[in-house]
Structure 1
Amino acid sequence: MKSNISALGKLAFMTMLSVVAGCGTASQPVEVEPAKPAVDMTQPITIKFFNNASNEIFEEEIGKRVRAKFPNIKIEPVGNGFTRTNMEKLVAAGEVPDLFWIGFQENISDIKQLGLSFDLAELIKRDKYDLNRFEDIALQMVKNQGDKGELFALPWQTASAVMFYNKDLFDKFAVPYPKDGMTWQEAIELGKKMSRTENGVEYKGFDPGRWSYYYQQYGVNMYDPVTGKATYMSDPKWRTIMQFFQDAYTSQGTIPAKIQENRNPFMVDKTVAMLPWAAYFQPFLAAKDTGLNFDMVSVPTPPDAKGQGISPAASILLISPLSKYKEQGWEILKFLASDEVETANSRIGFPPAIKLQAAKDQFGADLPGMQSLNMKAVFYNKPTVQPAVKGEYQSAAFQPFTQMMQDVGMGRKDINTALRDAQDVADKAIQEVKAR
């Protein structure tokens, strides 16, 4: 027993000496990481939040969720869909929002030029916020908007597309339904079998739907930063895109006197058999009440780009540099991008921007009628990363796009002429931007 006490005493003495010695050694300070200051989310403040959609959708996706999480914070929606013009009006009126929900990462270029961009990098570093949880392509497309490694936004929702088809029309004309993995040409050929006039009603087998899908699947950039010109004549993929577009309209019976992106002939009139459109299901499900019997397959792809989907077109969340509530705003952004909210978004039909498979597996679960649809079509193709879009040159290059598509689709111009005219208009618009 005596020897044990002696050993313990020696141990205690040596421990005391080491502690004293450690306290007196100035050259070896113990580094303690400063604690992150707590953000008081209980104070009654008003956060102005730029609204990318209708007030009803904003309330469902943001308003009620933020209030439930932070009861003392009032969320006030401002604006209704982003355009540079309406944002300039808010700035001129002194009504700059604290937070932004914007539909496309490309709009960051406008946000920067208006002096409304705020780099989240320091907050992300301070909080050790995990960016790896986001879908790689959606995050990369936001990162591409920074010139020096800045990250001006968090991805929130991604875009997907499917091809809707009217089951009743296919049954009526005894034609097999479309399938996942079709090419655009296969969809056009199937549309030919469905196009006809019956009892005075003209049916179109295939409508091209959203025109941007065709260049997004190729990842085509309308503006070449190396040459400083548009790419309509220099990139051969534009000729392929326009050939498809011409075939889609000229092969479906009579050539229309007017064309536009319009889902009503499919959804309301029920005279279109197949329609590629955004995987935003609420309007289509509502049309079931008027007798629309539909299902969906993956959006078709070019034969030389099979499996390539559309741009993820990340719906994004940003903080204004002018906000007095940046810390509170950052907490709100993190909450909205959390697994909890991303999964809730997925359940009401908005593809999540995170990798969490459980969120994807619950896609559309809260939408009545979704359970009977071919849900794998939404994630069948992989998103296609798009070129970095910076500044106003891309917008200038885009100016003739709609006119070019209409001229070719309505047979007013041949493809060569339409591309050449688009190139001229775009290059002139680019020069005007440079001359400002």
Structure 2
Amino acid sequence: MEKRKVHDGSSGTGYRKKGAASLAAIFLCLAVTACNGAAGDASEPAPAADKPAVQDSKEPVELVVYNASNSTATAEAFMDSDIGKEIKEKFPQVTIKFIATGKGTTANELLVSGQDVDLILCSVFSFPVLADTGLLYDIGDLIKQNRYDTSRLVPNAIEFQKQFGGGVYGFPVASAPTALFYNKDIFDKFGVPYPKDGMTWDETYELAKQLTQTDAGTSYYGFATRYPFMYNTNQLSLSYYNPDSQSVQVSDDRFRLFMENFTRFAQIPGNEKATTDMFAKEKNVAMMAYQIGRWDFDSWDMVSMPTFKEAPGIGPQDYGTYMNISSTSKHKQQAFEVLEALTSDEYQMKISKAGTLPIVRTPEVVQAFGQLSDAASGRNFKGKNVGAFFPKERARPSYVTKYDDAIAKRMNTAFSQIVSGGTNPVSALREAQEGAEKDVSAMKK
């Protein structure tokens, strides 16, 4: 089973719904949520004439970018990415020094060595380590000085960070599109109607049973996902660890409900071997709950992620990539200007058109999603139900702690044991709870 940190990563409106129709509902939702704002987090944007005299620095400067989540990342790949290209274009006076986490370059090792860092590129799961080492820096004053309006950002982008000391440490710069993807050819082959937006997991399970078949010696699988990914984006806002009681919490009824929901798919006779990789490679998986990939076939589409009847209409949590400012930076204003550029409507429009989920709520940016994608890129969204990526309401973010990896290992084992029939969910989760409690206790000593 994969580790906790690894990124591998609405209501129904009928079959084969077109993207344009679904986007109309998105804009209405965006307008409503924008009015609600992010109370207590957003600085009121001042008129242009009143903006304080905080100017872009034009002096040559080296900014150190630290990738805290990916040990295989390279400087070349970073500079060739959307983020790297944008920094190079908008800040010609900036030279980037890139460091990836790894042996000798963990967050703590960088701090001990005296290596300054300006910008930290990371997933949400890197925040606990960064907080422990003291590399997180509260940018609240920079937000005020630059009159940055945080209500432009997706809901929870700011609130999520406050569990790590109550501050705001950076902004999301992109998010992974997640949905229920399906292969039209398999549905057509067995005469099963396509999935719909707004389905429940129970309805999806019934479809999966229908589509798990063998035909002419070829096995077809009804459904595939990865349990760790579904937990990372879970719609019930579950957390492995309760920061209030300082205790592991994986054996209650809500976790049992969550675990039973996904183990039952793997227990469908004939569906045991289904993997997310098969969706693209063998093309014999009918439905896949996961994040978008680059695929060499076009007979796929997507609908909104199915929901729990216990949490109707609640979509998955944001699966974002963050850019934070480091506490050791000697160029915090220049670093903040980079954050402004990467969260500007102009840059977000670029990545949205290319098929990366934007992190701003600007309706025009959302509407532009996927417009420039094509078959050559492996992400051809033309004619696809792109509205599936934009749920009306996302689940509140889970608490993320430094203990999550250890707890996740116990939960991954429990998942496998339940699927194999070696034990029942209640017993498996009780064992996971007891084992995780011992692991966490050892980590606290």
Task: Please give the residue correspondences for 1:291-330 in structure 2 after superposition, counting only pairs within 5 Å.
Answer: 293-330=299-336
Cα deviations by residue, 1:293-329 (Å, 9 ceiling, x for unpaired) = 2111111111221211111133211111212222211
> What corresponds to 2:120 in structure 1?
100
SS in 1 for 2:263: helix
Distance in 1 separating the partners of 2:430 and 2:104 = 28
* 2:60 counterpart letter in structure 1: P
Choose which of 363, 382, 394 in structure 1 pairs with 2:393: 382
Choose which of 127, 142, 148 in structure 2 pairs with 1:123: 142
- The higher radius of gyration belongs to 1
**Bigger RCO of structures 1 and 2 (CA < 8 A, at least 6 apart):** 2
- Change in Cα spacing, 1:272 to 1:151, as seen in structure 2 (3 Å) is same
SS in 1 for 2:81: helix
Choose which of 396, 414, 425 in structure 2 pairs with 1:415: 425
SS in 2 for 1:272: coil
2:99–2:105 contact (8 Å) kept in structure 1: no
* 2:444 counterpart letter in structure 1: K
Larger CA deviation: 167-176 vs 46-55: 46-55
Cα offset, 1:224, TM superposition: 2.1
Q: Do residues 240 (structure 1) and 253 (structure 2) align?
A: no
* 1:307 counterpart letter in structure 2: G
Identity of aligned residues (%): 29
Cα offset, 1:35, TM superposition: 5.5
Distance in 2 separating the partners of 1:252 and 1:268 = 22
- TM-score, with structure 2 as normaliser: 0.79
> What corresponds to 1:135 in structure 2?
154
* 1:101 counterpart letter in structure 2: L
> What corresponds to 1:349 in structure 2?
355
Cα offset, 1:57, TM superposition: 6.1
Q: Do residues 231 (structure 1) and 249 (structure 2) align?
A: yes
2:54–2:145 contact (8 Å) kept in structure 1: no
SS in 2 for 1:399: helix
Superposed CA RMSD: 2.6
Cα offset, 1:39, TM superposition: 4.2
| Contiguous gaps of at least 5 residues in structure 1 | 1-32
2:83–2:342 contact (8 Å) kept in structure 1: yes
Distance in 2 separating the partners of 1:133 and 1:268 = 38
Cα offset, 1:181, TM superposition: 1.0
- TM-score, with structure 1 as normaliser: 0.81
Distance in 2 separating the partners of 1:392 and 1:406 = 23
Q: Do residues 197 (structure 1) and 211 (structure 2) align?
A: no
> What corresponds to 2:98 in structure 1?
77
2:314–2:391 contact (8 Å) kept in structure 1: no
Q: Do residues 169 (structure 1) and 169 (structure 2) align?
A: no
1:142–1:155 contact (8 Å) kept in structure 2: no
* 2:66 counterpart letter in structure 1: F
Distance in 2 separating the partners of 1:198 and 1:84 = 53
> What corresponds to 2:230 in structure 1?
213
2:226–2:276 contact (8 Å) kept in structure 1: yes
1:210–1:277 contact (8 Å) kept in structure 2: no
Cα offset, 1:202, TM superposition: 1.6
1:188–1:251 contact (8 Å) kept in structure 2: no
| Contiguous gaps of at least 5 residues in structure 2 | 1-49, 375-379
- Change in Cα spacing, 1:96 to 1:365, as seen in structure 2 (3 Å) is farther
- Change in Cα spacing, 1:376 to 1:39, as seen in structure 2 (3 Å) is closer
Cα offset, 1:45, TM superposition: 2.4
- Change in Cα spacing, 1:138 to 1:159, as seen in structure 2 (3 Å) is farther
Cα offset, 1:118, TM superposition: 1.1
2:242–2:399 contact (8 Å) kept in structure 1: no
